[in-house]
Structure 1
Amino acid sequence: MFKLSATRALAAALSFSLLSFTGLLHAQAVFKVTAIPDESPTELARKAAPLVKYLEKTLGMKVEFTPVTDYAASVEALANKQVDLAWYGGFTFVQASVRSGGKVIPLVQREEDAKFRSVFITSDPAIKTLADLKGKNVSFGSQSSTSGHLMPRSFLLQANIDPDKDFKRVAYSGAHDATIAAVVAGKVDAGALNISVWEKFVADGKVDTNKVRVFYTTPGFYDYNWTVHADMPAAQREKLTKAFLSLDRASPEGKEILELQRATRFIPTKAENYKGIEQAAHSAGLLK
């Protein structure tokens, strides 16, 4: 009786171990994607949905979009390998590189990101130049945003305007769409944001350009990219890169994904492209 019970117990233990191992393998088979929260959660989820389906098909595994609460969380998530792929702005990529000890690799960027721009908007007719912002209430996006804070601040400093000294108040909306809303509502006199979000709002009729207008557009700079951890196997990195580079507006699937990503197409990128962003962050005192 004891021998039979012991045998059954051993069989049960082995069965449980097998199930646990199978469950672990299943858990590891989920490819997790995240993105900096530079727009509303609903918009980020909408943009991610068809891309997730496409990656599931091309990678041959389950893919999940994992939202994060703020920019810092997106940096920690990839540095700690809690996610496999992250959509970063140029500055967030630099932060992730510093945080991980250089163990993150940017794979691709939109063609538009090779010469990205920010815009300054206002509803005040008296504001026509950057110099007119002195003594005004001005909003940036997130403090870690490249196009919503770092680069606009950098170009202000180049124009001998120090936001912390020359503005009446500096606000941080947290996201590009929130910056537009703050200007529209009159909570601030002006705001700086990502040009593609602004153009999307204008195209969708979500902002009245007779009331709110662009008064300054920055020079171009490198910005967004899709980044992975350096520990990802080279074969998987190559497969992932090929998936993005293969997206084509000629196909319904490619057209939908590229339009939601506000991309003409994806092109390869490299860490060296973001050295200018790193230098700007140091100069602006945003990176120690």
Structure 2
Amino acid sequence: MGLFKMAALVALSSISSSVFAAVFTFTAIPDENESQLRTRFEKVAVYLEKELGVEVKYVPVKSYSAAVTAFRNNQVQLAWFGGLSGVQARRLVPGSEAIAQGNEDQFFQSYFIANNSAQIIPSDNFPNLNGVTFTFGSKGSTSGRLMPEFFIERNLGKKAKDVFKRIGFSGDHSRTITQVESGAYQVGALNYKVWETAVENGTVDVNKVKVIWQSPTYPDYQWTVREGVDSAFGDGFKQRLTQALLDMDDPELLASFPRKSFVPADNLDYEPIEKVAKAIGLID
């Protein structure tokens, strides 16, 4: 009887492991309001499950670094990363690949916004930000930290810590808008898509805060898949996943990103981001 029970437990354990392995999981950097992210990506999970024929689960995380860690530890096999977080994740898991990006992500921008009390006039030229209070987004954000810091150093000729009276990190782009609009910080930098969506939805008071500078373009968000998914989910799975992402055409789902469509991506697209991150000391 003891042997029978042991065999049954081993069999149950094998079944449980098999079931767990059959679940394809993904995450996304928490760059906006958590409820908005959950609504968006749970719909993505439903779409992918239908297209791929496997159970798909969205796993929310609390920080950019947590998204990278989940990817490194194989807690997720796919992630919607920003440019920097994608570079970090692929460096930690060799063989992983950027497979799709939003059409707009090929030509992404950061917007610098200012509270009207700062009295900074919008211009095509980089503004004089010496002595103002400034908030980035998340410390791991490409459009809310990496590229803004690069543009600050390149245009003002000194480190951000030597430019501003006080520096903050809001945590996400939506909070950057809120903090600058309230006057908690005079100036901030964020993802241009989040700003444009906020203006379109009327969730920002443009009588209190405005865009003062728009950055040059750079590559940003992308879907990155972990190495080994074909072994875990069957030959050709990565290709079917890639095609499913590229074929995503539901207007409501695309609008929630917001993106017009998804287009092919590869690791080489993000070499400029890696070079900038090395130049300002965010990665070795």
With structure 2 as the length reference, what TM-score do the two structures score?
0.93
Q: How far has the Cα of 1:127 moved from its partner?
A: 1.1
Q: Structure 2: which 5+ runs fail to align?
A: none
Identity %: 38
1:244 pairs with 2:237:
no
Residues 110 and 214 in structure 2, CA contact (< 8 A), matched pair in contact too: yes
Q: How far has the Cα of 1:132 moved from its partner?
A: 2.7
Instruction: Name the larger-Rg structure.
Output: 1
- In structure 2, the residue matched to 1:283 is 279
Count of equivalent residues: 275
Residues 50 and 256 in structure 1, CA contact (< 8 A), matched pair in contact too: no
Residues 117 and 219 in structure 1, CA contact (< 8 A), matched pair in contact too: yes
- In structure 1, the residue matched to 2:48 is 55
- CA–CA distance in structure 2, aligned partners of residues 83 and 195 of structure 1: 28
- In structure 2, the residue matched to 1:39 is 32
- In structure 2, the residue matched to 1:24 is 17
Q: Runs of 4+ in structure 1 displaced over 4 angstroms?
A: none
With structure 1 as the length reference, what TM-score do the two structures score?
0.91
Q: How far has the Cα of 1:97 moved from its partner?
A: 2.2
- CA–CA distance in structure 1, aligned partners of residues 211 and 69 of structure 2: 34
Residues 79 and 104 in structure 1, CA contact (< 8 A), matched pair in contact too: no
Query: 1:131-171: per-residue Cα shift (whole Å, max 9, x none)?
Result: 33110000000111000011111111221243110111111
1:91 pairs with 2:87:
no
AA matched with 2:102: R
Residues 83 and 221 in structure 2, CA contact (< 8 A), matched pair in contact too: yes
Query: 1:240-287: per-residue Cα shift (whole Å, max 9, x none)?
Result: 001011122xxxxx1121111211110110111111111111122222
AA matched with 1:203: E
Q: How does 1:1-288 map to 2 (within 5 A)?
A: 8-100=1-93, 102-124=94-116, 126-128=119-121, 130-161=126-157, 162-233=159-230, 235-248=236-249, 254-288=250-284
- CA–CA distance in structure 1, aligned partners of residues 264 and 280 of structure 2: 28
Q: How far has the Cα of 1:40 moved from its partner?
A: 2.1
SS at match of 1:131: coil
Moved more, 71-80 or 262-271: 71-80
AA matched with 1:155: F
Q: Structure 1: which 5+ runs fail to align?
A: 1-7, 249-253
Query: 1:57-77: per-residue Cα shift (whole Å, max 9, x none)?
Result: 111121111111211111111
